[in-house]
Amino acid sequence: MNVPSNQDTIAAIATAAGESAIAIVRLSGPESFTIADRIFACRAPKPSQRPPRTFIFGHVMDHDSLGANGNPRRIDEALLLLFQAPHSFTCQDVVEFQCHGGMMSAQRIYRTLLAQGARPAEPGEFTRRAFLNGRIDLIKAEAVIDMINAQTQRAATVAAEQLDGCLSQAMEELYDNIMLVLAEIEARLDFPEDDMPPLEEEHWRPVLSRTIETLEKLLATWDQGRRVRHGAVVVIAGCVNAGKSTLLNSLLGRERAIVSAQPGTTRDSIEEGFVLNGIPIRLMDTAGYRQTGCGIEKEGMARSDHLRRTADALLYVIDASEPLRERDRRNLAEAPLDRTALVFTKIDLGIRIEQTDYPELPAVFTNLTAPAERAESVKNLLAGILACGAENLEGTPLIAERHRNLLQRSLLCIREAACLLELDEGSHVPATIVLRDALSCLDECLGKTFSDTLLDTVFSKFCIGK
């Protein structure tokens, strides 16, 4: 990808395609006010001579299409909003045209802006300029796309907190703590003739201990952050006719999967979504296990095995009215204890299974013929699994995958530095090296140091116009 110039004047439609009351076309760059003067007809004075942050009513004119009187044709009546650098989202001169909704008016205005010298904006280029011009750091820039992509109120809240700076502040505090220890060490290395006292434990251990503790707490939020942002995969598995499809329908509150007494009704996975405690759930019903010569069913069971191993949570369904099958025993022996719950079904037909076989797994006994109240029990069970550990994260920012990788490296560096500082003074120089590596990771998190490749990766996820 070519690195876009930060000084071109760029244009984009900032609202989604489709019918709407208004559409917004955005312009940013040094020629924004000049272009606005040329194409926007309004009462004097011209837009560029107006105070910033004012609305102007007028008409957008198409200079490439002349009417019968020889004057440019009107494209649409619109409101013009002016932002003067550096007091705008991009820290550049910005003009926004608010026209009638629907794509035609916005498209015509957009084409007119390009004809006047603007170029099409790249995905996320407005936010990229806000970052490059110092208005936001990279963590806040990532919060913008998280806000746009939020599927739940909880995801939107997490994004808003990150945009407000809670995660950036935590990173900055970590940075300051490491710098404090680094300054103590380097002062003794740079000025040995000043007879400074030796580096005692109280100069570094409490600070590095707090830093390690904070990093570990932030890293513990990754899994919960991933689920809030991207959702959790919940797999329903078990032997044939255990009640898996009935459970799926009960959790969704509608008849999504075919339910039949005939074994092997579900041969491929069925996926549906719902929201549970602010987490988007991808609920997957899978093919049941049994001995069969059918190649299609065997492939379905192979897929069930894969999904069962990779799920964020596994609801393993067992028919409580029959003795436990050997295939169930094998599957449960491989099940991840921290991500698995048992759903015992058909208890109205009698219970011939003891949960004491698997006391370490949370379980619910249910008769799914009364779906509403039974589904609620399963949802409560599922919520407990997905929230495991989250009760200790109250008020802590939730990191994303990019942050996780960098914070893991930073944590390793700080632990290594602590070990080095426990040795003699000869270890102080290598300790400063690894502490600077830790700082470098935090710099990259915040975007204080970056590559074009990193920015391309981050901003390619954005839509055009943001």
CATH at residue 163: 1.20.120.430
Tokens representing residue 64 in the block: 């490439």
| C-alpha span between 181 and 201 (Å, rounded) | 11
In a domain, 148, yes or no: no
Residue 323 has pLDDT above 90, yes or no: no
In a domain, 458, yes or no: no
Highest mean pLDDT out of 137-141, 229-233, 325-329: 137-141
In a domain, 466, yes or no: no
Q: Do 88 and 206 fall into the same domain?
A: no
Q: Do 260 and 217 fall into the same domain?
A: no
Residue 29 has pLDDT above 90, yes or no: yes
Mark which of 390, 410, 437 sits at the end of a domain: 390
Q: Do 130 and 21 fall into the same domain?
A: yes
Q: Do 123 and 233 fall into the same domain?
A: no
Number of other CB atoms surrounding residue 315 within 10 Å: 26
Any idea which residue has 């019903």 for tokens?
A: 285
Q: Do 51 and 194 fall into the same domain?
A: no
| C-alpha span between 349 and 367 (Å, rounded) | 9
Q: Do 233 and 382 fall into the same domain?
A: yes
53: Cα separation from own chain's centroid: 32
3-state SS class at 70: coil
| C-alpha span between 195 and 166 (Å, rounded) | 41
CATH at residue 280: 3.40.50.300
Global pTM reads 0.82
Q: Are 256 and 266 in contact (CB under 8 A)?
A: no
Mean pLDDT on 263-275: 63
Residue 353 has pLDDT above 70, yes or no: yes
Q: Nearest CA to 247 among 341, 337, 310?
A: 341
193/270: higher pLDDT: 270
Q: Do 254 and 382 fall into the same domain?
A: yes
- 374-417 pLDDT, tens digit each: 677 788 878 888 876 665 666 678 899 999 999 999 999 999 99
* Cis peptide bond N-terminal to 120, omega within 30: no
Q: Half-sphere exposure of residue 328, counting CA atoms within 13 Å on the CB side?
A: 21
Tokens representing residue 33 in the block: 């006010």
Report H helices in 164-284.
166-190, 201-219, 222-230, 244-252
pLDDT of 40: 94
pLDDT of 428: 81
Q: Do 161 and 82 fall into the same domain?
A: no
In a domain, 217, yes or no: yes
Number of domains in the chain: 3
Residue 192 has pLDDT above 80, yes or no: no
In a domain, 465, yes or no: no
CATH at residue 125: 3.30.1360.120
Residue 237 has pLDDT above 70, yes or no: yes
pLDDT of 108: 92
In a domain, 209, yes or no: yes
Tokens representing residue 295 in the block: 């190649």
Residue 439 has pLDDT above 90, yes or no: yes
- 115-144 pLDDT, tens digit each: 999 999 999 999 999 999 999 999 999 999
Q: Do 185 and 320 fall into the same domain?
A: no
Q: Which domain holds residue 252?
A: 229-390
Q: What single string gives the DSSP state of each residue in 87-119?
A: SSTTSS-EEEEEEESSHHHHHHHHHHHHHTT-E
Mark which of 354, 372, 390 sits at the end of a domain: 390
Tokens representing residue 455 in the block: 């920015």
Q: Do 197 and 233 fall into the same domain?
A: no
Q: Do 264 and 365 fall into the same domain?
A: yes
In a domain, 42, yes or no: yes
Tokens representing residue 223 in the block: 């899994």
In a domain, 460, yes or no: no
Q: Do 29 and 65 fall into the same domain?
A: yes
Ramachandran class of 238: left when φ > 0, alpha when ψ lies in -120 to 50, beta otherwise: left
